[in-house]
Amino acid sequence: MTTQESPPRTLGAQLTRVVSKGGIHFVLVGVALLWLVPSLGLFVTSLRTRAASSQSGWWTAITDFDFTLENYDTVLQSGDLPPPGFADNFINTFIIAIPSTLLPIIIAAVAAYAFAWMEFKGRDWIFLGVVTLLVVPLQVTWVPVLKIFNQFNLTGEFWGLWLAHTAYGLPFAIFLLRNFFADLPKELFESARMDGASETKVFLRIVVPLSIPALASLAIFQFVWVWNDLMNALIFLQDVDKFPLTVGINNLLGQYGNEWHLLASGAFISMVVPLVVFFALQRFFVRGITAGAVKG
């Protein structure tokens, strides 16, 4: 029995394919540029003088090149801002964001592995309860949680805020990681257990290495959320010496309400770190989104 070979692609078909791909790329580039315009405007405004920013739009600076770094120097000088100062706010944000990102990822990874690959009584009902917590608004928890914090002297402490961010981030983290872990090849776990590997070794040597994309995606979501958080810091810290960047920007807004060049500098400083984190973990983020296609 002979098989007929498919006819070679004509030049017209090849051109149509190239044009269609080029059109898609053109649209994607256009959308990306539209998303970048506000960030570009913020950055340019942060480099302009007060007179220039009040007299003309940021796009005019592209032609006159009237830029200065004094805005950043003014914003970062602690003495020019309400205590503890914007530079201290920047350090406080790191102190808050790093543990508040690592703790929920570690706890959620262990819990997600148990929900995905360990048998215990009430497992599905407990997981359903965790997923149900996703629909609970954070606002309705602030008053009771604050009462608990006051009772146990957690208010005003960094580690109290770490606990709050961990608790708020766990439901989504467990849900995301459990679904990823459940899609891992079952044969890997069976082979490891036949070789005498304990659950701890299976988790550390099989699950964690294969789940780096999902863990990195979760780290991006959690870090950016904590970095940009304002209300939890205001409610649970209540200490001006420990406030993060979001509170510092609010202080800038109160002190320099009409100084757009200074506000833009503070806002751009606050968004630099999340951008660096995202681009550093971008390849893992893309792999995490397209995860689930692991072959045994």
Give percent of the chain with pLDDT exceeding 70: 84
- pLDDT reading at 7 higher than 70: no
pLDDT at 17: 61
**14 has a pLDDT exceeding 60:** no
> At 68, which amino acid appears?
T
Q: What is the pLDDT of residue 19?
A: 52
**Based on the domain organization, do 176 and 59 belong to the same domain?**
no
- Count other C-beta atoms under 10 Å from residue 236's C-beta: 24
- Are 61 and 47 in contact, with CB atoms under 8 Å apart? yes
Per-residue CA distances from 110 to 177, 248, 255 (Å): 9, 35, 46
User: Is 5 inside any structural domain?
Assistant: no
Burial class (CB in 10 A: 0-12, 13-18, 19+), 79: exposed
Distance CA 136, CA 27 (A): 38
* Higher per-residue pLDDT: 89 or 260: 89
Say whether both 31 and 111 belong to one domain: no
Is residue 280 situated within a structural domain? yes
Query: Six-digit token pair at 25?
Result: 């790329």
Reply yes or no on whether the pLDDT at 64 is more than 80: no
Kindly state the average pLDDT of the residues 251-265.
72
Is 186 inside any structural domain?
yes
> pLDDT class for 80, splitting at 50, 70, 90?
very low
Range 46-72 average pLDDT:
79
126 in the same domain as 59: no
Q: How far from 285 is each of 26, 115, 216, CA to CA, in Å?
A: 23, 23, 6
Residue 93 has a pLDDT of 93
- Whether residue 34 is found in the same domain as residue 135: no
Which pLDDT band holds residue 1 (cuts at 50, 70, 90)?
Answer: very low
Q: According to the model, what pLDDT value does residue 247 have? A: 86
- Residues 180 and 267 placed together within one structural domain of the fold: yes
User: Angle at the Cα of 190 (from 185 to 195), degrees rounded to 5?
Assistant: 130
Q: Are residues 38 and 142 in the same domain?
A: no
More confident residue, 21 or 244: 244
Alpha carbons 200 and 50: distance in angstroms, whole number: 59
For position 99, what pLDDT does the model report?
A: 96
Q: Does one domain contain both 83 and 224?
A: yes
Residue 194 confidence (pLDDT): 87
Give the mean pLDDT of the chain: 82
Q: Is the pLDDT of residue 145 over 90?
A: yes
- Please determine, for residue 283, whether its predicted confidence score (pLDDT) is greater than 60: yes
Q: What's residue 293's pLDDT? A: 42
| Same-domain status, 54 and 79 | no
List phi, psi (to 5°) of 267: -65, -40
Reply yes or no on whether the pLDDT at 291 is more than 70: no
Instruction: Check pLDDT > 50 for residue 112.
Output: yes
For residue 237, being part of any structural domain is answered with yes
Asked if residue 152 and residue 232 are part of one domain, the reply reads: yes
Q: What is the DSSP string of 38-68?
A: HHHHHHHHHTS-HHHHHHS-GGGHHHH----
Integer Cα distance of 296 and 291 in angstroms = 14
Q: Are residues 117 and 237 in the same domain?
A: yes
Model confidence band, residue 277 (pLDDT cutoffs 50, 70, 90): confident
Of 41, 68, 95, the last residue of a domain is: 68
Considering the domain architecture, whether residues 78 and 39 belong to the same structural domain is answered as no
Q: Is residue 40 over pLDDT 90?
A: no
Residues found in the chain? 296
Q: Is residue 4 part of a domain?
A: no
Asked if 63 and 88 sit in the same domain, the reply is no
In a domain, 158, yes or no: yes
For position 244, which CATH number holds?
1.10.3720.10
Question: With 0-12 CB in 10 A as exposed, 13-18 as middle and 19+ as buried, what is 230?
Answer: middle
Q: End of a domain among 8, 39, 68?
A: 68
Q: For 240, which DSSP code?
A: G
Q: Answer whether 237's CB lies under 8 Å from 100's CB.
A: no
Does residue 294 belong to any structural domain of this protein? no
Tell me the per-residue pLDDT of 182-215, one tens digit each, with 9 for 90 and over.
Answer: 888 888 888 888 888 888 898 998 899 988 888 9
Q: What CA–CA distances, in Å, run from 258 to 50, 54, 215, 261, 291?
A: 10, 9, 42, 9, 47
Q: What is the dihedral of CA 40, 43, 44, 46, to 10 degrees?
A: 160
pTM: 0.80
Indicate the residue among 50, 68, 86 that finishes a domain. Answer: 68
Domain that holds residue 169: 74-289
155-169 confidence digits (pLDDT tens): 999 999 999 999 999
Question: Based on the structure, what is the number of domains in the chain?
Answer: 2
Residue 2 lies in a domain: no
**Long-range pairs of 47-55 with CB within 8 A, sequence gap ≥ 24:** 47/71, 48/261, 49/261, 50/259, 50/261, 52/261, 53/260, 53/261, 53/264, 54/260
Give pLDDT, residue 140. Answer: 93
Q: Is the pLDDT of residue 296 over 60?
A: no
